[in-house]
């Protein structure tokens, strides 16, 4: 057992039945020291203080709470919080830390964590902080691509319990994927469901880059609609096949390895009512390739990462040669200077 460490501190004491109210008051005043433990002795609760009180402050507290005790006592350090404070101070001394939020997304047995600064010591410090806050976290993985949160050159880190494969489940729909390659962002559940519910039962749907998002599987499972699912990465294609079997939707989802499309010639030209591309890394490039596959009165929906919250001009320039109607909506801010943008293309030229 770790030996307790004491430090002589200024404390304020009050009877037990008034202690909670005084504690809240000290917090609001910014005087309570959170790095040391409270003391309970003979019906009196002592709170550690960051500094001494002035005479006026003591009079104000007595007016509000009645009799109090002001003295110095040895108090026990909160070791984890002190270690966290030291780490933060070390990180701040090396670089501006406020640009790297400690906020993260917990996802079953993994954690998504953003680190902006490309510095090994800073990176290690932030990881140590998260490990202290989340029990059971031991390993971390740097990954190239987070599905729906693509970060490009910036370092991305997943913290997990050592298992690469995890299961995402929403009601009776579930998918297996490798967290080193793909991350399904739970913040986008509303947008996924909205897109699925907008599809009409008589529409012919296709998804490109489907091994990264699995939305075609969700459409087939929840709406019982036939969907063509295209994938040009062989490893993602194998994962797609596994998840079709996992959800027992063979026959509803038609998996097609994208390289085969070229062999099929014009079989899919002007066929689909709606095409979905849900992969930021490939969305713009792929959308230009597949204009021939959508009907003239159909729609292409793509999700794209933008460095600007309203990137209307560059998207308009890119797609105006293909579609007369371009609707753009910023869905949410993913991380610092990165927004998720939904683009709808209609009335094709």
Number of domains in the chain: 3
Do 320 and 237 belong to one domain? yes
Q: Are strands 165-170 and 173-178 parallel, antiparallel or unpaired?
A: antiparallel
243: Cβ contacts below 8 Å, ≥ 6 apart = 175, 176, 214, 217
Strand partners, 346: 299, 325
Asked if the structure places residue 176 within a domain, the reply is: no
- At residue 99 the predicted structure's pLDDT band, cuts being 50, 70 and 90, is very low
**Contacts by 28-35, CB closer than 8 A, 24 or more apart:** 33/9, 34/78, 34/81, 35/77, 35/78, 35/81, 35/82, 35/85
Tens of pLDDT, residues 28-86: 888 888 888 899 998 999 999 988 888 888 999 999 999 999 999 998 887 766 666 66
- Return the closest-CA partner of residue 327 out of 349, 306, 307, 299: 299
Question: Tokens 């005043």 sit at which residue?
Answer: 29
Do 116 and 72 belong to one domain? no
Single residue among 49, 77, 105 that ends a domain in this structure: 77
Tens of pLDDT, residues 111-145: 666 665 566 766 777 777 766 666 666 666 665 54
Asked if the structure places residue 209 within a domain, the reply is: yes
Do 124 and 245 belong to one domain? no
Do 21 and 137 belong to one domain? no
Do 119 and 241 belong to one domain? no
pTM of the model: 0.61
Q: Which residue has the higher pLDDT, 248 or 108?
A: 248
Largest CA distance in the chain: 88
Grouping H, G, I as helix, E, B as strand and the rest as coil, residue 43 is coil
Asked if the structure places residue 172 within a domain, the reply is: no
Domain boundaries, position 21: 6-77
Q: Is the pLDDT of residue 92 over 60?
A: no
Under 8 Å between Cβ of 151 and 183: no
Quote the CA–CA distance of 103 and 117 in Å, as a whole number.
15
Asked if the structure places residue 171 within a domain, the reply is: no
Quote the CA–CA distance of 145 and 8 in Å, as a whole number.
50
Do 216 and 282 belong to one domain? yes
- At residue 253 the predicted structure's pLDDT band, cuts being 50, 70 and 90, is very high
Other CB atoms within 10 Å distance of the CB of residue 6: 12
- At residue 176 the predicted structure's pLDDT band, cuts being 50, 70 and 90, is confident
């Amino acid at each position: 057992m770790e030996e307790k460490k004491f430090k002589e501190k200024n404390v304020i004491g009050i009877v037990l039945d008034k202690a909670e109210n005084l504690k809240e008051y000290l917090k609001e005043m910014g005087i309570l020291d959170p790095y040391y433990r409270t003391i309970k002795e003979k019906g009196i609760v002592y709170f550690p203080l960051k500094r001494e009180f002035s005479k006026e402050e003591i009079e104000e507290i007595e007016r509000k709470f009645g009799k109090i005790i002001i003295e110095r006592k040895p108090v026990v350090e909160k070791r984890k919080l002190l270690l966290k404070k030291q780490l933060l101070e070390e990180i701040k001394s090396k670089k501006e830390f406020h640009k790297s939020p400690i906020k993260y997304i917990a996802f079953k047995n993994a954690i998504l964590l953003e680190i902006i600064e490309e510095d090994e010591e800073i990176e290690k410090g932030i990881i140590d902080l998260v490990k202290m806050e989340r029990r059971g976290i031991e390993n971390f993985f740097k990954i190239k691509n987070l599905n729906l949160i693509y970060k490009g050159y910036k370092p991305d880190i997943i913290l997990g319990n050592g298992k690469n494969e995890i299961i995402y489940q929403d009601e009776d729909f579930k998918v297996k994927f490798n967290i080193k390659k793909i991350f399904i962002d739970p913040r986008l559940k509303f947008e996924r469901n909205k897109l699925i519910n907008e599809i009409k039962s008589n529409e012919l749907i296709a998804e490109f880059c489907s091994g990264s998002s699995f939305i075609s599987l969700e459409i087939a499972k929840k709406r019982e609609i036939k969907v063509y699912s295209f994938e040009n990465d062989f490893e993602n294609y194998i994962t797609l096949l596994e998840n079709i079997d996992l959800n027992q939707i063979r026959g509803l989802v038609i998996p097609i390895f994208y390289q085969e499309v070229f062999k099929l010639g014009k079989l899919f030209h002007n066929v689909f009512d709606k095409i979905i591309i849900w992969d930021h890394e490939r969305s713009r490039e792929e959308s230009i390739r597949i204009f021939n596959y959508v009907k003239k009165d159909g729609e292409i929906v793509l999700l794209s990462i933008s460095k600007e919250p309203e990137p209307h001009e560059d998207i308009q320039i890119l797609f105006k040669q293909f579609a007369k109607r371009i609707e753009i909506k910023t869905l949410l801010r993913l991380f610092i200077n990165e927004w998720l943008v939904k683009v709808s293309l209609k009335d094709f030229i």
